[in-house]
Structure 1
């Protein structure tokens, strides 16, 4: 009996952190059901074993989310193959643990699927002994940062990390009394429900603004234009007739004298910003003078004309400093910063229609049919109208900042989730009752039944 208890418990010096007095540190494997085949690996199923008309569902890595069953795969084998291969059946209520990234050790509880089930070889299944531990408690624990970091620490692999079932089974886990486990689960679910609802509302607000942004810009630009008639004082102009347009270049990367200077050099990776004041790369005067790179004036407009990103978006930026650009961008400068800024907003508001009209697919990347684009006509209002429209459009920047704040809030929510789980498995959610029977006592009773 003492040997079994010693085997199940984690020695004091190996315990990751201190827990309440009536908790106990145990090895994961000690939480499995006392019956055979309650902790094992899935089956090695090859492509030739798959049968679309089979009766046995194969649960795969793609089905395992962080705490939830995703139900993404749809692969089956026949009952005959199930018997021939000696497959192990798994059941609703079993916990599936991914032995492979990404992320490693994520888990889910099998829902009530009305099918005969097996799982893949890189997935471990655990049928917990619910006398001492609840499956919901374990599922939250396995998806905590603490447990995942433990698993990552002993995982191995050159291309993708894997953890063996033996090593997984030897990982230490904190075990509170059974009653407290239930209280922890209730508290976690209540807190996470509030957090998830907050995240949903934030994402909804962000998505609504992003969907409406282009439409808002376009509507402001189109005001006073009725039935495509040119209002008095406005004029229809071709892009090439009002802008000095030029492309860029890249100084030789092998020449260190050309790089790490003070001249900003814009590439597509810098074009996520609406306004550019700094870049990831800088070139020297020597690099500028010995390449096809040209210096763009402050208040010019830069636009990506060749990149895979043109499949989805048309990046454009307003330059708040002198810059150079690489060969995948074009610079537009009318000599009038008001007209330049209006053009910047015009591209923003008409992004989708411009892409549909001028984008073409290449063998490796998309590009803008630039000769055609240069003949594109835009309606140019008088200076005072441009100024009024730009003032209203720039108020959108404040909303843009709020959207970025929302994104940061979402990141903070993910940190909050991790914090909730961390506190839960340290006994810091106010669930512990020191008078409650120790989990060690219950574990001892269960082990005695095995003898």
Structure 2
């Protein structure tokens, strides 16, 4: 539903206000940067103008104090196949974070994989987390830009694949991501879109959390059912 809303509002430029751009002949102008027509009163900005970016790091795996009993979530690029991340199985210690280039990113950071099979994939994290160096963190400067920015980056997936470089594996760089050009709609339209999509994403997050809790309960009960510790009456 959120993606459909995005397509109507920001790809087809039709809004539920009775005055859709294309079907009511509102002014569209050709943008030289994007080489396409966009609404006349919208802007084009580079990603670094609307969001802060950063990348992570990997503590040395040979030093057990960096990982043993760690409580700081640590996400690798392979986990970015999921568009919304509510948990990770990987953790590092505070000692490990301080002795590496890993950084703690806030809730609702957009993560983009830069290397390997998941290059160009994006996820939103629902908890504070560190990442490895194969992940670029994108932190929108406005809450209204969060889901909009993710959808724009998702729409750029094929372009990002073509943009990536590297002989053995496809690679993106943080600089290339920071300099991506995005259409920036009017603030009120962004606000309305944010209100709608936040509701959808909250439902997604709640469903994922419940699914995880049910899976944990299943894994806890199944061995006891098999060895007769508990019975289903």
TM-score by length of 1: 0.37
Out of 36, 57, 62, the position equivalent to 1:249 is 57
Alignment of 1:70-85 (within 5 A): none
CA RMSD of aligned residues (A): 3.0
Name the CA distance, whole Å, in 2 between partners of 1:355 and 1:214.
Answer: 21
CA contact (8 A) 2:3 2:151 kept: no
Q: Indicate the residue corresponding to 2:130 in structure 1.
A: 324
1:41-72 per-residue CA deviation (whole Å, 9 max, x = no partner) reads xxxxxxxxxxxxxxxxxxxxxxxxxxxxxxxx
Offset, 1:304: 0.4
Structure 1's consecutive aligned runs of 4 or more residues displaced over 3 angstroms after TM superposition are 213-220, 224-227, 390-401
Confirm whether residue 275 of structure 1 aligns to residue 81 of structure 2. Answer: no
Confirm whether residue 347 of structure 1 aligns to residue 153 of structure 2. Answer: yes
CA contact (8 A) 1:302 1:332 kept: yes
Q: Indicate the residue corresponding to 2:178 in structure 1.
A: 374
TM-score by length of 2: 0.67
Name the CA distance, whole Å, in 2 between partners of 1:386 and 1:324.
Answer: 29
CA contact (8 A) 2:122 2:153 kept: yes
CA contact (8 A) 2:136 2:174 kept: no
Confirm whether residue 220 of structure 1 aligns to residue 9 of structure 2. Answer: yes
| Cα gap change, 1:218 to 1:348, in 2 (>3 Å) | farther
Q: Aligned with 2:123: secondary structure?
A: strand
| Larger CA Rg, structure 1 vs 2 | 1
CA contact (8 A) 1:218 1:349 kept: no
Gaps of 5+ in 2: 15-20, 22-27, 30-36, 209-233
Name the CA distance, whole Å, in 2 between partners of 1:378 and 1:252.
Answer: 37
Q: Aligned with 1:367: secondary structure?
A: coil
Instruction: Choose between structure 1 and 2 for higher RCO, CA contacts under 8 A separated by at least 6 residues.
Output: 2
Residues paired across the two proteins, number = 185
Q: Indicate the residue corresponding to 2:116 in structure 1.
A: 307
Offset, 1:397: 6.2
Gaps of 5+ in 1: 1-208, 405-451
CA contact (8 A) 2:56 2:130 kept: yes
Offset, 1:249: 0.3
| Cα gap change, 1:348 to 1:390, in 2 (>3 Å) | farther
